Homo-oligomer: A and B are copies of this chain.
Amino acid sequence: MSTEATPHIPGLSIASVERETGLSKDTLRVWERRYGFPTPERDANSERLYAPDQVQRLTQIKRLMDRGHRPGKLLALDDAALVALDAARPSVLAASNVPQLDSWMHLVKTHDSEAFQRQFYREMAKRGLAGFVQDIVAPLITLVGEAWSRNELGIFEEHLFSQHLEKMFRTVLANMSPQQGSPRVLLTTLSGEEHTMGLLMVEALMVVEDVCPVLLGPQTPIEEIVRAAQLKQVDAVCLSFSSAYSPTLSAQGLRDLRQMLPAGIELWAGGYGVKAIRKPIDGVCLMPEFKDLYDCLAKWRTEHGHEPVSASVISLPVTPK
């Protein structure tokens, strides 16, 4: 047993920190140069080694940035000020209109699966599927994410919560067989965006509106999205972006896809990640809020003459098997 003063906390490599915080290697290096933070040690090969507490501070800063704060200000603050900012959270859910969410969070923390299930279906029956998704599920996902990043929740609880949600969505959606309806919309995410829950929520909202969603799951390369859109003869492609996905990358990806997608097929983008995109993109419909989806739909329907679905379906050439 050595009694060395430094208890040898090795620290994380720059790649690990990128994974943990979501800040790119370039950003980490340029912050160090410009603001003097973080201040990683170096290993034998003079590569950066970040101390765990600095990584935690970086995560905190990233979270505040996602809320709209600017790095220049944040990096000048001390720990106390950061914590203060964190606590006074005009979080996305500032004035939650559903005080009930606390009791939901309690169910998540105590991982009471059965109570959870019951509560889900009860609430869904009360509010209707669309209201349930918008007022309960979406805020709850945000809350769970925040609680996790504040270390109030383990990965286990988070995973179990996701599984319950997924099970519920798939059960509900399976019984609504959206084989027809219009428009036909392809649902997926770009490579690098793994979050599926946004897609399931959108699918639920669409099914209620008599849209015909084609769920493709996450992480489809743009080339394949184009191919899928053509083969499945959809009217629109709808992408989902979580807050973890870099706004620059999402904008870039949307431009790339818009360029390759036939002009007749619309391109919609939803999810928290879209809120960070300020400038509109030509030919892309940004839907930062759920309600924007309805606007998009209404617009499409008026533009394409909203005569009964059956007529247009029959008039379309059906591809033989």
- Using CB atoms and an 8 Å cutoff, list the residues of chain A in contact with chain B: 10, 12-13, 15-16, 19-20, 22, 56, 59, 106, 110-112, 114-115, 154-156, 159-160, 162-163, 166-167, 170-171, 173-174, 179, 188, 190-192, 215-217, 220-225, 227-228, 231-232, 248-249, 252-253, 256, 259, 321
Q: Which of B16, B167, B173, B231 contacts A156 (CB 8 A)?
A: B231
**Complex Cα gap A228–B160 (Å):** 9
Answer whether A114 and B163 are a contact pair too, CB < 8 Å, given A20-B223, A156-B228: no
Q: Which of B56, B106, B225, B253 contacts A16 (CB 8 A)?
A: B253
Counting from the closest, the 7 A-B pairs by CB-CB distance are A170-B170, A156-B228, A171-B174, A155-B224, A156-B224, A110-B321, A159-B217
**Complex Cα gap A114–B159 (Å):** 31
14 more contacts with CB within 8 A, not counting A19-B190, A163-B217, are A12-B256, A16-B252, A19-B192, A19-B249, A19-B253, A106-B321, A110-B321, A114-B179, A156-B224, A156-B228, A160-B216, A162-B217, A170-B174, A174-B174
Answer whether A231 and B111 are a contact pair too, CB < 8 Å, given A154-B224, A163-B215: yes
**Complex Cα gap A259–B13 (Å):** 13
- List B contacts of A173 (CB < 8 A): 167
- A227's nearest neighbour on chain B, judged by CB, is B156
Answer whether A159 and B256 are a contact pair too, CB < 8 Å, given A19-B190, A174-B171, A222-B20: no
- List B contacts of A192 (CB < 8 A): 19
- A193's nearest neighbour on chain B, judged by CB, is B19
**Complex Cα gap A58–B216 (Å):** 24
- List B contacts of A160 (CB < 8 A): 216, 228
Cβ contacts A to B, 25 pairs, < 8 Å:
A15-B252, A16-B253, A16-B256, A19-B191, A19-B253, A20-B221, A22-B191, A112-B321, A115-B321, A154-B227, A155-B220, A156-B216, A156-B220, A156-B224, A156-B227, A156-B228, A159-B216, A159-B217, A159-B224, A166-B217, A167-B170, A170-B171, A170-B174, A171-B171, A174-B174
